[in-house]
Amino acid sequence: MSVITVAAVQMDIRICDVSGNFERALAWLERAASLGAALIVLPEAALSGYCFASRDEAAPHALAQDAEPLQRFAARCAELGVTGVLGYLEAAPGEQVYNSACVAMPSGEVATYRKTHLPTLGVDRFLSKGDRLPTFEAAWGSLGCLICYDVRFPEPARVLALQGMDVLAVPTNWPAGAESTPDFVLRARARENRVFVVAADRVGVERGRQFIGRSQIVDATGRVLAEADGEEETILFAQIDPAEARRKRIVIEPGEWEQDPVGDRRPELYGLLGAPANA
């Protein structure tokens, strides 16, 4: 498999309506699959909503990894032969709650990514931080996942790229004020790591907070292949060749002008990356 179609679902979400949001997310998944998408990314917290006032309010809307909606999502991805990425609040052992993404493969395999960087915003104020940056293997290549604020940091995307990631899925909830992410950050992460980025945002207003849409698909050069507006529910589609992400060296003029944003790194100079912020 070389060229595949990827899709970003931009949808509105109703807070506290897990069952209703799930049925709508499943309908979007099926529509995207029917139009040929092999990878389908849906927004952050797509089942629960985001603007909770406390952990106690959010917890009843969190799902265990084996909850029925997630099992149905995984089963439908397997039936459709697609890879699906769906944001939700995860209820974990020890009364932990995470901002997570369900990554469902055509094989029926299901994995979870837990948001590793939490802003002081919405439900993230009350959640636990994930502690892993895994990649997931699909028939077409290697998939990484970061959620919303995670992508503001260059390090996690770089770590995923060093593990062989071809495509970065970004379920997100960008509020008004976060325009710099679709304006600059996604393009930078794509360009500096030579990977594709599929970012699915939400639209609408939740408890007075406006979400900006502008879901994007970005190629490995940092070029925006598709972008949604700030108001409408929609699906973005683009065709990509994941193998392009494995060609890190950029040859503009052979022997005269070449660059490799991954291979030309100088890790021996980057020791402060592992130090506390105030070191």
* Catalytic residue (choose from 102, 115, 145, 206): 115
In the residue annotation, 44 being an active-site residue is answered as yes
Return the structure tokens found at 90: 């995860």
- What is the phi/psi pair of residue 143, to 5°? -110, 135
- Would you tell me the crossing angle of helices 154-162 and 186-193 to the nearest 10 degrees? 30
* Catalytic residue (choose from 51, 77, 102, 148): 148
* Catalytic residue (choose from 44, 51, 102, 206): 44
Amino acid at position 2, single letter: S
In the residue annotation, 115 being an active-site residue is answered as yes
Mention every residue, 6+ apart, whose C-beta is less than 8 A from residue 200: 8, 9, 10, 41, 42, 43, 85, 169, 170, 171, 172, 215
In the residue annotation, 148 being an active-site residue is answered as yes
Burial class (CB in 10 A: 0-12, 13-18, 19+), 86: buried
Beta strands in 124-206 (DSSP E): 135-138, 141-145, 167-171, 196-200, 202-206
Residue 90: beta bridge partners?
63, 98
Give the Å distances, CA to CA, from 131 to 89, 211, 269.
16, 27, 25
Catalytically active residues, by annotation? 44, 115, 148
